[in-house]
Amino acid sequence: MRVIVCENYEEMSKVAANMVAGQLLLKPESVLGLATGSTPIGMYEELVRMNKAGEADFSKAKSFNLDEYYPLAPDNDQSYHYFMNEHLFSKVNIKPENINIPDGTAKDVQAECDSYEQRIAQAGGIDLQILGIGNNGHIGFNEPEEALHSRTHLTDLTEDTIEANARFFASRDEVPRQALTMGMASIMGARKILLLISGKGKHAPLKAVLSGKITTSVPASLLNLHADTVVITDRAAYEG
């Protein structure tokens, strides 16, 4: 695991955006694994700028998002579909048919999860996976548990996560209690992973990951088993 410590959020976002753009330059038809949440917003802003400047080309890229609240419709402004359109998809030259996000309205949840895994496999697997980390060490919505799921599944959100994500909703009661998420093997199958970590509040999970110890109570710690993970952190998260 390589660690890049940036001075601040802006630098972290630029370093990450440059890596995504570099990936697209090396392999224009790259399959990108994407995250939502506040951490990657600066990276998406920079990618939008680079796309307009001709420095990042999404025209042949495919994308798979990590997760989506359940049940939430794509046009709900709290959905991750909405978030991605707002921050990236509507502003760069990615083709709508190349965008994949778990369907938060699926009636047959198992069929949706199976189909999501099949679509990732048919695309040839994920080349570059972007991750954020939860205060509780989750990645995607793989919450700390005694046993983690390997593949895309429906999961209950922990109280920690509901609390942390309440800031995006009018009230805590409105935060969905469940989500569809890629599993640990879906994530670990990516050829390269960028884990973005920002802010003092993320010092504890970062420290747990960098300790090198692997435990399902910090799902991100499993990234220590991945052959090509780069942690990009700002100094606030690194030093605490």
Report the catalytic residues.
67, 136, 138, 143
Sole binder of ligand F6R in the list 33, 104, 132, 183 (CB under 6 A): 132
CA quadruple 65, 78, 196, 218: dihedral sign: negative
Sole binder of ligand F6R in the list 13, 32, 37, 69 (CB under 6 A): 37
Q: Which of 115, 90, 108, 175 is nearest to 141 (CA)?
A: 175
In angstroms, the Cα distances linking 159 to 79, 133, 156, 176 are 19, 16, 9, 11
Burial (CB count <10 Å: 0-12, 13-18, 19+), residue 53 = exposed
C-alpha 153 chain-centroid distance: 15
Stretch in the footprint of ligand F6R (CB under 6 A) among 6-14, 36-44, 46-54, 95-103: 36-44
Sole binder of ligand F6R in the list 139, 195, 218, 231 (CB under 6 A): 139
Cβ proximity to ligand F6R, 57 vs 216, nearer residue: 216
- The total number of residues shown for the chain amounts to 240
Stretch in the footprint of ligand F6R (CB under 6 A) among 17-25, 128-136, 169-177, 230-238: 128-136
Could you count the other beta carbons within 10 Å of the beta carbon of residue 90? 11
Rounded CA separation 90/68 (Å): 18
Cβ proximity to ligand F6R, 104 vs 134, nearer residue: 134
Cβ proximity to ligand F6R, 55 vs 224, nearer residue: 224
Stretch in the footprint of ligand F6R (CB under 6 A) among 7-15, 55-63, 134-142, 225-233: 134-142
Classify strands 67-70 and 128-131 as parallel, antiparallel or unpaired.
unpaired
| Residue 39 engages ligand F6R in binding (rule: CB under 6 A) | yes
| Residue 234 engages ligand F6R in binding (rule: CB under 6 A) | no
Q: 116 near 152, Cβ under 8 Å? A: yes
| Residue 143 engages ligand F6R in binding (rule: CB under 6 A) | no
| Residue 72 engages ligand F6R in binding (rule: CB under 6 A) | no
Could you count the other beta carbons within 10 Å of the beta carbon of residue 129? 28
CB of residue 186 vs ligand F6R: minimum separation in angstroms?
Answer: 12
Residues of the shown chain interacting with ligand F6R in the complex, contacts defined by CB under 6 A: 35-39, 66-67, 132-134, 138-141
